[in-house]
Chain A
Amino acid sequence: MNPEPFLQLDRVIHEKGRLPIVSLLAASPELSFTEIRDTLKMTDGNLSVHLRTLQEAGYVALTKSFRERKPLTTCALTVAGKKAFENYIGLLERIVAEARKS
């Protein structure tokens, strides 16, 4: 089997903690920090670390605001994040297709 697609997988997305975050954000225009945390049952600290990594890679944009006087952090995929996720899925599909062929 050709190992090339595997080597091309984006390491920022291809991580146990970050892949679910990107998957959720890819299906929704934006989600709040608490929505992601509750859906994925992650701790605040863990989610913060992964979001920071995604933000530093330019894949996620964080917006801080207030709702009913409480701080609200909203997360959304950036254009680069959407493209990286599409590429990631494309590579996974390629790996599965090549495995079927061989």
Chain B
Amino acid sequence: MDSDWAKEHLQVIRTLMERAAVYRRALAPMMLAIGVMGCGAAILGLVLGIEAPRAFLGYWLLVAGVTVAVAFLLLRRQAIKDAEPIWSPPARRVMQAVAPALIAGFVVSLGIILRAGDAPLQNAVGTRRMALGWVPIGWVVLYGCAAHAAGFFMPRGIRLFGCTFIAGGCILFLAGVPETPSPWFGHGVMGVFFGIAHVAYGLYVSFTEKQNRAA
């Protein structure tokens, strides 16, 4: 009796179960795009001298918005290529997992922007320290929480990636921020975590995907 049909059945089951449970769409290009934009935004922020608390927070929220839009376009492109719905059950689960941490980060930042915009506070050391120091570190930790939560529905070490962010952010929290943080600190933290770390992870995923395809 031929057993090829049994192998094929097992392969079909595996594929369908992965499709239902694991979100693996465009991970490498998305991470690379986020990383490149993060690095570019950090450099641009330093070149433009964005250091007022409100400007710094607004600038990075804008970068986050553009990055999300680019990531969405990449996901959409791959979904069309694979002839699959973009809003698949795994995609929905990933969104539900990342939403609380990202929304919390956005709302807290928005609150600080609104209050940091008051003229007497614009150059106050406390506000500056908050905006250029504590808030970016908070973003790193919250983003790490979001990535860790998404990792339950995604492959390739996303949870470990999230843990790295949480650990890195916590270490920075414990180390503390300078009394008068320079733009180098704020943009540097953002560039390292949202730029370099993403590029490194994107390259890792890209490399391992190629290896798996070759195997």
Binding site for B on A (CB under 8 A): 1, 3, 6, 19-20, 23-28, 31, 35, 38-39, 89, 92-93, 95-96, 98-99
| With known contacts A20-B16, A28-B20, A3–B6 Cβ distance under 8 A | no
B88 closest partner in A (C-beta):
A39
State how many residues of chain B have any CB contact under 8 Å with chain A: 18
Residues of A near B12 (CB, < 8 A) are 19-20, 23
Majority DSSP secondary structure for residues of A touching B: helix
| With known contacts A6-B1, A24-B16, A27-B16, A96–B21 Cβ distance under 8 A | no
Majority DSSP secondary structure for residues of B touching A: helix
Contact of A89 among B10, B16, B21 (CB under 8 A): B10
Contact of A1 among B1, B19, B21, B85 (CB under 8 A): B1
A96 touches B10 (CB 8 A): yes
Residues of A near B19 (CB, < 8 A) are 24, 27, 39
CA–CA, A1 and B6, complex, Å: 13
CA–CA, A27 and B17, complex, Å: 5
Would you give the shortest CB distance from B17 to chain A, in whole angstroms? 4
B21 touches A92 (CB 8 A): no
